[in-house]
Structure 1
Amino acid sequence: MELQGICHKMHAGLKDHSVTDEQVHKANVEYKFILDRAEIDLPFQLGQELELEWTGNIYCVSCGVKTPKSYSQGHCFKCFKTKASCDMCIMKPETCHYHLGTCREDSFAQEVCFQPHIVYLANSSALKVGITRLGQMPTRWLDQGATQALPIMKVGSRRLSGQLEVMFGTQVADKTDWRKLLKGEAEPLNLIEVREQLIEEFAPKIQTIRDEFSQNLEFNETVELLDQELPREFVYPVEQYPEKIKSHNLDKTPIIRGKLQGIKGQYLILDTGVINIRKYTGYELKIRAE
């Protein structure tokens, strides 16, 4: 069996959902491959031998033009320099500059930046704080390979969520160690206890931020504490974690082979190494499974 098309990040969703007790919601994670923007069931199973081949072609995910190099996960240089989705404020939402009148695309700001956002705690390789649009739960957590997640605040804009993330980031990391992520399950954490400690410690600063943003009458920049939310737990399709992490690079080795041992976050775990599928957004791939 062989498939060919332009690669996009895998779609991660919940296969089923069950409540194991009164405190934890637990669900299994399943994946679909995205080729040419069409979702397809994964054309392989755990234990199968896979071959991924890069044809040498890269196409911009925004305008579709063929490009010699990928910028900002699948863009040509022109789109990278002009699209709001490629701006630095996407990586650092606290630097959003819409209020300064310098946003590249007003429509993007309305559709993304001024939508309800969630500030959350997650456990991927360790405890971290993060943000995501309300409609991106649980996708954001699954893309990061989180085994636990807990929404702690709901706010009215991306910049506001970024301000709170930076604040909590003085006590909690905002990055995931991808190597630890792929070496096994993170030790379980009591996220409710962490939430209560953080909210108590930062109460004065939260109020200061709330007062500052409430002055913006144009947008609904409210701050809501989600103190009744329960943790979610996720189980990934992994049969075996690698003892040592070796990362495949299609730019250097355009054909990789290996037996599929698991999928976590946006990584395929092969017995020959791991590969971050999202990194190769826009790459034309041939995928073969035996």
Structure 2
Amino acid sequence: MLNDLLRDQDGVITLAQAQRVGLTHQAVQRRVRSGYWRRCARGVYFVDDREFTDAARIRAAVWAHGAHAAASGLAAAWWHRLTVFAPEVVEVTVPRNSRGRSHGGARVRRRNLGASDVSAVRGLKVTELSLTVVEASVRRRGGAKLMDRALQRHVELQALWQAHLRNKGRYGAPAARRMLQAAADGSRSEAERLLLGLLRQAGLTGWRTNHPVAGYKVDVAFPKQKVAIEVDGFAFHTDEEVFQIDRQRQNTIALCGWQILRFTWLDLTGYPERVIAVIRSAISAR
């Protein structure tokens, strides 16, 4: 039973779990003194005969903060497999009245989570998927990409709004609301406004909005250089028919000798310097 538990828990075990499978407190301490078990925090241990993986690190960090702690933010996003790379600092949410200090490698958020906002995933308490998407999307630059990907594959926009409204006073809530509003309308109009703002800030001139080309109107055009810029909103709004029409339109414009650049709301919010660099390169080369 002990070996099965350690295998399922990435080599991490609590004192209470060890006692439930028959080990005494003294037996646990002997393992620690011998170096076979490593103490991660009070009452939390790692069996040091295997690699201390990201999963083990996050599990130990959460359990170090008590039975009511839950992984949140980017740590929860990684645990839900929404992101590829685990964060260096593990965000842990604990009840407001929880005692104790933050342990090394962890950042504590104090707030009372409702039962609907906590899930058990692979034996660890984490924020529920919708709340995780809403919170993690504002924890890093380019986080809107995480929300867009989740909307395409995992969750509905309504569920994200519900999770947000249940937890309005949390850290990052205003930024999350703006992102959800952008997702709700597809964010194309907002993307266009962002692009125009970036062009002005960069001091680029000679561009026109809604410029006619080959029977179509492109969002922004540099007529002299024959460079057309098209902006898109959240990818989850795009269906197959719209995708096909856009490609036909793009091919027609390209056959008239125009270079076409496409940027999404995610590009404009997450990587504005890259967007301007690409535009500069395109208009200087023609």
Q: TM-score range by the shorter chain?
A: under 0.3
Which structure has the greater CA radius of gyration? Answer: 2
Give the number of the structure whose residues are more often strand, by fraction.
Answer: 1
TM-score w.r.t. the length of structure 2 is 0.21
Taking CA–CA contacts closer than 8 Å with sequence separation of 6 or more, which of the two structures ends up with the larger relative contact order?
A: 1
TM-score (norm 1): 0.20
Q: Name the one with the larger helix percent.
A: 2
